[in-house]
Structure 1
């Protein structure tokens, strides 16, 4: 698969004016829904704002969160104090091709909004993942939903897809990884509201909770060595992944490594989910 409308995603496209227009319009929508029409409470907002605005130059940021509605992004970034309108600071996000890139108009708008089209089921080495890796190499901020699909049940965080872990491993400079858990967007945009469909507009007077964690640290050299030794005892059906540098990890070692990183992220997200539930009760 090629890169859908990659030219529209470039910062210099038409002097950056269309991108600014999209960020202004979508930012105003997110602020209105999250801060005016609903009540949003954020724990540890300063950590996210600091990492978005003033992390060390060239250091990439990956934020990961649960996925409770089709509007999680952009509404997550609409809380008070967040630089929602700043197209330069704004996140890149992995977005489902079948939803966000259904036609030329959608593709153009979502590309201006710094979305990277991902084919669900296309694997962690599909071409758009290389584009995501390039953005990380530039020191950008990337947001992912590693559960891979919307779930509106109040249930533990599911087993994560390995795409996010693969980006963490393959990035030349290890990204800062920040876990985020939210609750309430499933009430703002329920999947089955009327006749089994979503409402035409976001609902109002709901409570949204966003719990932001602390940056996660991964000792990748040590984790690589552990993955190599573990993989020697693994038997699995190979699907032909390429070996990756710097250690030339084969497919078996990659699977062990990606699984280990994904489980650490899932555990961090589940911890935040429990913290959010206890704060809701209090």
Structure 2
């Protein structure tokens, strides 16, 4: 049984049709967001020049050598895309071309019909299932695997491992996607267009960005709290395990930039009355970009432990105790030992904890006192149950998003 399945080749870029439509979608939303932030609200930005220098240095996808993960608290349904309105329009127009963020969006909110699915796919949103709302949720879902591959190198015109199957399968399913029913590039160089279903019973297929070399070492933003959390002291919930895959699994550890958001909760607070769908104006908004994390110092030991686990799992699958998992194998669906094994689970607890500490440093730089240590523990929130929304006993407000 050969785990090296020789599959369809990658391609360099999506078609001009898809690139143009996606760029126009992202630029238009960025312009609206910037207008709203600076014309109708009082917005201040901290650490932006340093962050822009980083983004500009990543403009040429052929020169990028590692991915980028930005991570922040989540206080409003408008956090994304609103916070990216702080980036100058000149960046969105020029340096942002094939250099904008990817983000995970709730499948049951953003992908409920064909129009929404196309809009959010063009806006570089990946369909993600939440365990509280879908049996297809969890860390092993195909979309998180897409995220891992986007943070890795992608080579055009070479055989590609299918990121949505498990190792050891002799045959793979060919996805027969078609536009406009499916959210794919109708003029792709590959036929059928690169796509994947977000779950086993998803009737719609979505663009597979990890099949395009222009998406090598991409930028992904994530809200690891997994839901909106509005509190008076700007404390955060615990960070969920999915973010650990983005740090541990790429071949090269991505750059990590922590961020902290304030004020968007006043624009769309969960206590707002009719008309709820209209954002409030005249609010004070702040977006703070922290410094790049020293990833070797913070995550190096965890990545080495993960590599040892992955190599051992790979060696077992090929019945060779000395086999080392090849770099091109990064970004496959997780096997059971890597998904549910005790050490793998421990790594996924520790990695988000360390990442949360980096975001807390940015929060502290904004003058907030240290929060209650219990705020970062999953056990603190067990009393809420998986589907709780609204006002909590501690005065905070929650919203699935």
TM-score (norm 2): 0.59
Asked if 1:72 corresponds to 2:82, the answer is no
The structure-2 alpha-carbon separation of the partners of 1:225 and 1:114, relative to structure 1 and needing over 3 Å to count, comes to closer
Question: Distance in 2 between the 1:224 and 1:113 partners?
Answer: 31
Match of 1:117 among 127, 148, 156: 127
Aligned residue for 1:190? 269
- Cα distance in 2 between the residues matched to 1:127 and 1:22: 25
Paired residues of 1:33 and 1:202 also in contact (CA < 8 A): no
Distance 1:47 1:41 in 2: 15
CA contact (8 A) 1:60 1:139 kept: yes
The answer to whether the 8 Å contact 2:258/2:359 transfers is: yes
Greater CA drift, 206-215 or 52-61: 52-61
Question: Within the alignment, does 1:211 sit opposite 2:288 as a pair?
Answer: yes
Structure 1: 5+ residue runs without aligned partners? 1-9, 230-239
Gap runs ≥5 in structure 2: 1-12, 132-136, 153-215, 309-333, 370-401
Check whether the contact 2:229–2:237 (CA below 8 A) recurs between aligned residues: no
Please tell me whether the aligned partners of residues 144 and 245 of structure 2 are also in contact (alpha carbons under 8 angstroms).
no
* Conservation of the 8 A alpha-carbon contact between 2:104 and 2:125: yes
- Looking at structure 2, the residues matched to 79 and 228 of structure 1 have their Cα atoms a distance apart, in angstroms, of 37
Q: In 2, distance between residues paired with 1:168 and 1:124?
A: 13
Whether the aligned pair in 2 keeps the contact of 1:27 and 1:78 (CA below 8 Å) is: yes
Structure showing the higher helix proportion among its residues: 1
Task: Using structure 1 for the length normalisation, give the TM-score.
Answer: 0.82
Does structure 1 conserve the Cα–Cα contact (< 8 Å) formed by 2:42 and 2:282?
yes
- The answer (yes or no) to whether the contact 2:248–2:302 under 8 Å persists in 1 is no
Pairwise CA distance, 1:186? 0.4
Alignment of 1:84 onto 2:162: no
- Deviation of the 1:224 alpha carbon: 5.0
Distance 2:56 2:127 in 1: 25
SS at the partner of 1:209? strand
Q: CA deviation at 1:68?
A: 0.7
Q: Once the two structures are superposed, what CA deviation does each residue of 1:223-260 show, in whole Å capped at 9, x if it has no partner?
A: 3567899xxxxxxxxxx95345xxxx972122222222
1:80/1:14 Cα in 2 relative to 1: closer, same or farther (>3 Å)? closer
1:192 is displaced (CA, Å) by 2.6
Task: Give every structure 1 segment of 4 or more consecutive aligned residues whose post-TM-superposition deviation is greater than 4 Å.
Answer: 224-229
Question: By how many angstroms is 1:204 displaced?
Answer: 1.1
